[in-house]
Structure 1
Amino acid sequence: MVALRRDGTAEARLALVGGHTFDDLPALLEAAGGDPAAIQAGAMIDAPDDLLLSPVARPGKVICIGQNYLTHVREGGREAGPAHPDLFPKWHTSLAAPYADVALPLESDQIDYESELAVVIGVRGRRIAVEDAASIVFGYTAANDVSVRDFQFHTGQRTAGKAWDGLTPLGPVVVPAARLGGVRPDLAITGTLDGEVLQDDRTSQLLFGLPELLAYITTVMTLEPGDLILTGTPAGVGFVREPKILLRHGSVFEVRIEGIGALRNRFVEEKAG
């Protein structure tokens, strides 16, 4: 069930629109017309961290942006970012809960972390102008775009390394955009591995800001309530470091974004069979 919960608390209230509850956020946003003011608080329920699921279970689309912080572009050996937003997809099967143990793929030992701000679309939109971007954005959450690096580089396309089942933690909560600076948020974003900060930047440093991303994406496709956009990761990923820092059995990675909170996942060996 969709609920209203503050990060760090163990209770929540059912989220209602017109007195109705919802099994997933896209349906709630459709009913609310993407307006946070249309969402009311219902009955109190228990919502401890270990019972939380991804705040969006079945988004129609998960659109990810590559090479969207200049520091990350440069750590990869390039001087300038792409001329247009670098898009690649995931599917709802990629998503994981914000505090879940996440299974490391059996087929790879090159699993990397990527801390990202994720955008939740509130209403349907096509060919949205830059100045109208706020009209279709509901809010923000945090994501870890965990990447299977060897599969990512099998070809010139990223999908095989990025859309792995259950390898993209999301959450812990979705915060309305108006509370976080609107469509050009300036939020601290950090990525911490086993207590060591490896990524540290601000979302205002995106090469393509959210209005520009939305204008470009909606030129190509219709965005719908509950769709997700992962906006890119800052510098500090493990694969380009010397020596490399990669996720292993027992690794705990935390993505923390100012005003949203933290998602924290332990990575464990996947059991064969």
Structure 2
Amino acid sequence: MRIVSFSSGGRMSWGAVVNGGIVDLAARLSAFPTVRALLEADALDKAHAALEGATPDLALDAVTLLPPVTDPEKILCIGVNYANRNAEYKDGAEEKSYPSMFVRFPNSFVGHGTPIERPPVSDQLDYEGEIVLVIGRAGRRIPADRALSHVAGATLANEGTIRDWTRHAKFNVTQGKNFDRTGAIGPWMVTSDAIDLAAPLHLTTTVNGELRQDDTTANMMYSFARLIEYITTFATLKPGDMILTGTPTGAGARFDPPRWLTPGDVVAVAVPEIGTLSNSVIDEPR
């Protein structure tokens, strides 16, 4: 099942993509006004049941897609998680025994098809294609061998970054990672029953059709299960929380000279088992 959140005619809703259109499940399951509410109730089976015999209510291109979970409690991001990313920094630092982490705010992301924005204070808007885990079942101190049972599904992200603002202070990337509408999540969440998260997934990122990032999750230093095990040693993961699991080599900052995003560019992040997240770039309206 491919679950989407969307807005149409001034109304926010959620549903499932079927035959190129959207079945409005919020209208059929009024007890669950949002995807997060559905996950908190452990009610994905009710969504599946509501789809039986249903035909689309809306065309996919007639709505504005939003991040699949519009109101997560936590968006946790993993840095430097592909085996060759550490060398890409060229700082001589050894690989660490634990993953690097930071957090992002929901307003820093838009959905599929909505432009991401370059702020007026910097021209260093960069892209980072990533796979995103959506938590479906709460847990603390979750062992790796049970971790994937807590995942409701997976989506994609362009974890857009304002690079020079990640270096404003020591040990701090928060500013450069949280400009409004600089990243994107979507286009939908593929539920865990429709994707094997333990198998290698092939992730690519293109800019204007040019391949920039190309890797598989087999090269991750910390697997999806290990990330959940590590995070839940200090935090309780809750339904609707999202984990951005890291980006491969090939971000714009690593070219010489750097290749920053500019208005008119189109960034596409793809995993065959999930889909394609595509966003153009504009200057932030002033």
Give the RMSD, CA atoms, in angstroms. Answer: 1.9
Query: Which residue does 2:22 correspond to in 1?
Result: 12
Deviates more, 1:228-237 or 1:160-169: 160-169
Deviations 1:117-170 (A, max 9, x none): 000000111111111102211110000000100000112211111122112201
Aligned-residue offset at 1:47: 3.8
The DSSP-based 3-state class of the residue aligned with 1:28 is helix
**1:54 aligned onto 2:71:** no
1:101 shift after superposition: 1.4
1:159-184, Cα deviation, whole Å (9 max, x unpaired)? 111122112201101012232213x2
Describe the superposition over 1:92-129 as per-residue Cα deviations: whole angstroms up to 9, x where unpaired.
11120111012211111111100000000001111111
Amino acid at match of 2:187: P
User: Which of 215, 218, 239 matches 1:225?
Assistant: 239
Match of 1:68 among 71, 76, 81: 81
Cα distance in 1 for partners of 2:28, 2:230 equals 34
Deviation by residue 1:54-92 (Cα, 9 ceiling, x = unmatched): 111111100000010022221111564321111100111
Q: Decide whether the 8 Å contact of 1:124 with 1:225 is kept in 2.
A: yes
Aligned amino acid, residue 45 of structure 2: A
Return the match for 1:129 from 140, 143, 148: 143
Q: Are 1:26 and 2:36 counterparts?
A: yes
Partner of 2:204: 190
1:206-217 alignment, distance < 5 Å:
206-217=220-231
SS in 1 for 2:112: coil
Is residue 37 of structure 1 aligned with residue 50 of structure 2? Answer: no
- Residue 16 of structure 1 deviates from its aligned partner by 6.0
8 A Cα contact 2:262 2:281, kept in partner: yes
Answering whether residue 255 of structure 2 is matched by residue 255 of structure 1, we say no
Contact map agreement 2:26 2:34 (CA 8 A) in 1: no
Tell me if the contact between 1:194 and 1:251 (Cα under 8 Å) persists in the aligned partners: yes
Q: How does 1:159-170 map to 2 (within 5 A)?
A: 159-170=174-185
- Compare 47-56 and 59-68 and name the one that shifted more: 47-56
How far 1:11 sits from its partner (Å)?
A: 1.1
Q: How many residues are paired up?
A: 267
Which of the residues 183, 186, 202 maps onto 1:171?
186
For the 8 Å contact 1:2–1:21, the answer to whether it is kept is no
Counterpart Cα distance in 2 of 1:57 and 1:241: 33
Instruction: Confirm or deny: 8 A CA contact 2:127 2:158 kept in the other structure.
Output: yes
With over 3 angstroms needed to count, the CA separation of the structure-2 counterparts of 1:80 and 1:186, relative to structure 1, is farther
Query: Unmatched 5+ residue regions in structure 2?
Result: 1-12
d(CA) in 2 for partners of 1:178, 1:82: 33
Identity across aligned pairs (percent)? 34
Picking from 236, 243, 262, the partner of 2:250 is 236
CA distance in 2, matches of 1:158, 1:230: 15
Query: Does the aligned pair in 1 maintain the 2:148–2:224 contact within 8 Å?
Result: no
* Offset, 1:255: 0.5
